[in-house]
Amino acid sequence: MNHLIEPFHYAFMQRAFVTALLVGVLCSAMGTYVVLRKLSFIGDGIAHASFAGIVIAYLRGIDYYVGAGIVAVITALAIGVVHRKGRVALDTAIGVLFTGAFALGIFLMSRQQSYSVDLQSFLFGDILSVGRTDVVMIVVLAILVALVTALLYRPLLYTSFDPVVAQASGINAPLVEYVLLVLLALTIIISLQAVGIVLVAALLVTPAAAAYQLTTRFAPMMTLSACFGALCAVGGLYASYYLRSSSGATIVLFATVIFFAAMSYKQIRMLVSAGASRRAVLAGGSQDAP
Amino acid sequence: MSAAVEVRDLVVRYERVVALAGASFAVNPGEALGIVGPNGSGKSTLLKTVAGLLEPTSGTVRVFGRAPRALPPGSIAYVPQIEDVDWSFPATVWDAVAMGRFARLGLLGRFGREDKAAVQRALELVNMQDLAGRRISALSGGQQQRVFVARAIAQQPQLLLLDEPTTGVDAATEEALRQVVRSLVADGMPVLMSTHDLDRAAEWFDRLMVLDRRVLAIGDPEQVLESGAYSGIREHAHTHGHARTH
């Protein structure tokens, strides 16, 4: 028991656990939309693009959440505009935008005399460096994202399944999509310190993909995904404490294991039920088994 | 009596393609108007423009005297072709039909007893009440089409638009859908629907329209079909081989 609470003796570990839990739940819940709307690449794109914002914020001495937030939201909206108006395929447009912004970040960083360890931590995440004001910022943004998502729950659900009919019925589907992209941008910003730019997309996609294997309705999928996210985040953080490993990488590895466990469980269950119906056919002589 | 839908000189142009080149017609309350025409004749474009999903390049579309997007939420129900959505979405039949209520409810409205009753009634109308708990990915094409129609009915719209709902469905489903549409029309609903099925047009529709980017003929279904307007464009379409995307 002492082992379990040992990390909590340190204030920085307390902050890390609060951050991990929030990030795990929020990313995974929002990931439900990412997976169902097939936006995985957008998550990765926004995360990478925000690196330019982080570097600019660092060079100008402004808060990194402001810098990264502005760039991430602009990128998200630009992706939405290109998607609606552009004649370029969506993944091409994202590819151009995010690599460009990411390169700008690296370019600006490389011109600095002293290489900053701070900036590197954003690439791979350093949850132990989360300060007190960071936690406040993360809590405020997480509450904001959760509130807006709850308010838009029905339009987000309908436009995820059938945006055309939703719009015909009078729902402003393009506006809902723009708001979702901004919510995803904020979610990613919140998560960068915990898991890093390179791995945040995994936390948006993997728990939701695991939950998709095991559920048949939207709300249970979102709930299960959030639970998986919390489990990965807290479990991964514990493991990284004892294994002295990178917190972001450990959290994502937890998620990967959960995904394959969920997939295997579903496959086995399908095989078992297929086997059962085959046996029923052989025993009963019925001919119309699926 | 003023028309439910009034379309005048409607032109819709995509980048290089003219999908509609000056179509004019009206749909009256309590009337089912069928649209026939070859692939690329602008049927889907016409339905989408009346639904407010596409903007006219020129000309006007009025639904109860207003632009489609200016109507109160829930006014227009659009039934797309079933392959337009991803049926692996995690939802039951009930969940999918309940979405028909969302536009009316707005952001803060509670999904209450009235909404549940509307969903239940819609499921019963298309005879899907026993499959309410089934995951939509496990449905046949005919059942998927019934779900789409039930969702439109649950919306309690003022205008019903259907894009080839009888394509690829079994005979029982087609007949069930026809009875649902006829009973809605009997209650005063205006219906605009595209179809490939000429043989049963007289049973489905009060009037039939032959479309090939313009309205070539409109009127009593049997007279329109006898007039040869449709077979004429069919041969024309064959000889010129114009396959346009819609």
CATH number at residue A29: 1.10.3470.10
> Cα dihedral angle (A253, A256, A261, A267), rounded to 10 degrees?
-160
Q: Which of A18, A21, A29, A4 is nearest to A230 (CA)?
A: A21
Domain that holds residue A81: 2-282
**Domain presence at residue B244:** yes
Under a CB-based contact definition with an 8 Å cutoff, are residues B142 and B172 in contact?
yes
**Domain presence at residue A206:** yes
- CB within 8 Å of B231: residues ≥ 6 apart: none
Domain that holds residue B46: 1-71+198-246
**Domain presence at residue A145:** yes
DSSP letters of B73-140? TTSEEEE--GGGS-TTSS-BHHHHHHGGGHHHHTTT----HHHHHHHHHHHHHTT-GGGTTSBGGG--
Phi, psi torsion values for B22, nearest 5 degrees: 95, 65
Confirm or reject contact between B160 and chain A (CB < 8 A).
Answer: no
Say whether A162 and B80 touch across the interface (CB within 8 A): yes
pLDDT for residue A92 is more than 90: no
Judged by DSSP in three states, B208 sits in: strand
Say whether A36 and B89 touch across the interface (CB within 8 A): yes
Whole-number pLDDT of residue B243: 43
Whole-number pLDDT of residue B1: 53
Task: Read off the pTM.
Answer: 0.90
Whole-number pLDDT of residue B33: 97
Residue A115 DSSP label: P
Please tell me the total count of domains within chain B: 1
**Domain presence at residue B67:** yes
Whole-number pLDDT of residue B144: 96
Task: Kindly report the number of other CB atoms within 10 A of residue A270's CB atom.
Answer: 10
Q: Which of B99, B54, B45 is nearest to B77 (CA)?
A: B99
Judged by DSSP in three states, B59 sits in: strand
Whole-number pLDDT of residue B228: 78
Under a CB-based contact definition with an 8 Å cutoff, are residues B196 and B36 in contact?
yes
Which residues of chain B lie closer than 8 angstroms to A217, CB-CB? 90-92, 95
pLDDT for residue A117 is more than 60: no
**Polymer length in residues for chain B:** 246
Whole-number pLDDT of residue B116: 97
**Domain presence at residue A17:** yes
**Domain presence at residue A288:** no
Judged by DSSP in three states, A116 sits in: coil
Nearest CA in chain B to A151: B107
Region A11-18 average pLDDT: 89
Confirm or reject contact between A218 and chain B (CB < 8 A).
Answer: yes
Alpha carbon separation from A72 to A1, A118, B43 (Å, rounded): 42, 19, 41
**Domain presence at residue B189:** no
Whole-number pLDDT of residue A5: 76
pLDDT for residue A288 is more than 50: no
Mean pLDDT split into 10-residue runs, chain B, 246 residues: 89 90 94 93 95 95 95 96 93 97 93 96 96 95 96 97 92 94 96 92 94 93 85 56 42
Best residue in A156, A169, A270 to probe B by mutation, most B CBs within 10 Å?
Answer: A169
Whole-number pLDDT of residue B235: 54
Confirm or reject contact between B124 and chain A (CB < 8 A).
Answer: no
More confident residue, A287 or B124: B124
How far apart are alpha carbons A46 and A68 in whole angstroms?
10
Which residues of chain A lie closer than 8 angstroms to B151, CB-CB? 165
| H-run or E-run covering B114 | helix B113-125
The ipTM (two decimal places) reads: 0.91
Please tell me the total count of domains within chain A: 1
Least confident of A45-54, A113-122, A242-251, B107-116: A113-122
Look over chain A and give the mean of its residue pLDDT values, rounded to a whole number: 87
Nearest CA in chain B to A212: B90
Q: What is the CATH number of the domain that holds B47?
A: 3.40.50.300
Q: Is the dihedral of CA A187, A190, A194, A199 positive or negative?
A: positive
| Closest CB to A152 among B52, B86, B107 | B107
Structure tokens at A251: 């959290």
**Domain presence at residue B145:** no
Whole-number pLDDT of residue A120: 72
Which residues of chain A lie closer than 8 angstroms to B135, CB-CB? 216
pLDDT for residue A154 is more than 90: yes
**Domain presence at residue B38:** yes
Note the pLDDT tens digit of each residue in A242-279.
998 888 889 999 999 999 999 999 999 888 888 877 77
Looking at chain A, the whole-number percentage of residues with pLDDT higher than 70 is: 93
- CB within 8 Å of B88: residues ≥ 6 apart: B137
What are the residue ranges of helices labelled H in chain A? Answer: 2-5, 11-36, 40-60, 64-85, 90-110, 117-124, 132-151, 153-161, 163-168, 173-195, 197-214, 218-243, 247-284
Residue identified by tokens 């990264």 is A68
Note the pLDDT tens digit of each residue in A187-212.
998 898 888 888 888 999 999 999 99
Locate the DSSP E strands across chain B.
5-13, 18-27, 32-36, 58-63, 76-79, 159-163, 191-194, 207-211, 215-219
- Parallel, antiparallel, or unpaired for β B159-163 and B76-79? parallel
Q: Which positions 157-186 of A are in contact with B (Cβ < 8 Å)? A: 157-158, 160-162, 164-171
